[in-house]
Amino acid sequence: MKNIPDSHQTVFSIISDAAAALGTPAYVVGGYVRDYYLDRLKEDSIDIDFVTVGSGIELAKEVARRIDGSSLAVYKQFGTAQVKAGDLELEFVGARKESYRKNSRKPIVEDGTLEDDQLRRDLTINALSWSLNKEDYGALNDPFEGMKDLENENIKTPIDPHQTFDDDPLRMMRAIRFASQLNFRIEEQTFQAITDMAERINIISKERIIEELNKIILSDNPSLGFTMLFKTGLLKEFFPEMSALHGVKERNGVRHKDNFWHTLKVLDNVIELGADLWLRWAAIMHDIAKPPTQRFHKEAGWTFHGHDALGAKWTKKIFRRLGLPLDERMRYVQKLVRLHLRPIALVSDEVSDSAIRRLIFEAGDDIDDLMKLCRADVTTKNDYKQERYQKNFDYVERRIQEVEEKDRIRNWKNPLSGEDIMEALNIKPSRTVGDVKDAVKEAILNGDIPNNHEAAFNYMMEHKEEFLDNG
């Protein structure tokens, strides 16, 4: 237990003393121990799990009593408790064993030994523990050769994988998530068991599934996780639209790229450009509607006209089904999916300022992320084409900067307020107010008038009779 932060060492010592006072052996378990041996522990590693051969709640109470300023939360229903001490979140549970009735995912839980508790762990690398007991303080318990699997970069279940996944099917997602996060391989029998039991994921709540999926997406190499989700058949169970991207059709000797593997490459590319979770989701969704929009034309070959608009429409439906938020984050993904083809269409010396203004207006503050997505969407292996496409985007970005500096369209607000319009035209709230605002917006985006209050007001007054007649 060398090179552990001093604050953690202090907490371990306090827990050791508390456990000794209660006469209940205690151990550090799970991810903290695993990450220590992977050299992934950080000063801000705040979640630490402890198991005791006795009452986890009573140990937590004793620990909280010994740490000044700590807080205690007890969850009697689950037999667990949490102590918050500064930035640390310490989770306590009593060792237990589990047995399952046929056709039930809810286990019968009984008090157990440390060995019983380790048997119910999902993976060998998560079944490691350290003793906090005086007689063997710091000793490693490794009943399933988890250290060997860490060294071999191997994901494996402690017992028969079919039994492990039958007990809790979410463990299939967790196995793939850890493989993706750690860049490990899944051991052959474990991988086969996931394939055999993929349909059983459907008894898991969408909230638990999306939590694991987002962790895969946030890993450094999410394409690895998605590849395993696809090959095991898990992906089509909860995200069939993405699975449906796979495949290549050929007609008259003309083929198109495989949109599933293309999407994974775009996802990896956008991460290299700097992407949070929601830009990564935009990469996942950008071509999601290509299958139903696929057509073959003798002259043009394969086309996917309208997949951008349809993909944006699908986004809300898919987010709802997966349990993703339906707020501004969903609308952000929708926007990027809808606009992802627009920048490349602006690659022309003759492209008008108006077209650039409209793109800036529609993208708003997300214009930079849109350009990241567009650059990531270039997946050709032809160096010449890759360089040419990226130069095209350089040009578009220069034009965006030029137009924005001149016209200030980003996060545009109408120079005329509703009050301005009603006072000047001597009208009450009505459709006419909206018509004036729309007309001013179009005039500014078209470049007919400058983007300022005076020009907008003069434009309104010049067309006053027309607005009033139409109202």
Average pLDDT score, the chain: 90
Does 212 fall in a domain? yes
Domain check: are 161 and 204 in the same one?
yes
Note whether 175 and 234 are same-domain residues. Answer: yes
- 388 and 275 together in one domain: yes
Residue 264 inside a domain? The answer is: no
Same domain for 192 and 143? Answer: no
Predicted local confidence at residue 72, as pLDDT: 94
Note the helical H segments in 244-302. 259-272, 277-285, 290-293
User: How does DSSP classify residue 187?
Assistant: P
Residue that terminates a domain, selected from 412, 441, 457? 412
Same domain, 213 and 291: no
- Of 412, 443, 461, the one marking the end of a domain is 412
For the chain, the domain total comes to 4
Task: Report how far residue 355's alpha carbon sits from residue 400's, in angstroms, rounded to the nearest whole number.
Answer: 10
Mean pLDDT of all residues in 1-21: 90
Q: Which of 385, 336, 341 is nearest to 365 (CA)?
A: 336
Residues 202 and 316 occupy one common structural domain? no
Which of 412, 436, 460 is the C-terminal boundary of a domain? 412
103: confidence class by pLDDT, cuts 50, 70, 90: low
Q: Provide mean pLDDT across the span 436-453.
A: 92
Given its phi and psi angles, is residue 55 left (phi above 0), alpha (psi -120 to 50 degrees) or beta? beta
CATH number at residue 197: 1.10.110.30
Q: What is the mean pLDDT of residues 376-394?
A: 90
In a domain, 262, yes or no: no
Residues 86 and 131 in one domain: yes
pLDDT in tens, 44-101: 668 899 999 889 999 999 999 999 999 999 998 888 999 999 888 999 999 875 544 4
More reliable by pLDDT, 109 or 149: 149
CA distance 181 to 296: 39
Residue 116 lies in a domain: yes
User: Which whole number is the average pLDDT over 435-449?
Assistant: 92
State the Cα–Cα distance between residues 95 and 117, nearest whole angstrom: 5
What's the pLDDT at 283?
Answer: 98
33 within domain boundaries: yes
Judge whether residue 410 has pLDDT over 70. Answer: yes
Please give the sequence-ordered ranges of beta strands (E in DSSP) within 76-188, or none if there are none.
Answer: 80-85, 88-94, 96-100, 107-111, 129-131, 140-141, 154-155, 185-186
Instruction: State the pLDDT at residue 114.
Output: 76
Q: Percentage of the chain surpassing pLDDT 90?
A: 71
204 in the same domain as 145: no
> Is residue 222 located within the same domain as residue 280?
no
pLDDT of residue 118: 77
pTM exceeds 0.85, yes or no: yes
Query: Which structural domain range is residue 462 located in?
Result: 418-470
Q: Are residues 234 and 180 in the same domain?
A: yes
How crowded is residue 160: how many other Cβ atoms within 10 Å of its Cβ? 12
| 275 and 401 inside one domain | yes
Between residues 374 and 389, the one the model is more confident about: 374
Radius of gyration, alpha carbons of the chain: 29
pLDDT in tens, 284-328: 999 999 999 998 887 778 888 899 999 999 999 999 999 999 999
**Nearest CA among 196, 130, 140, 210 for reference residue 164:** 196
406, part of any domain: yes
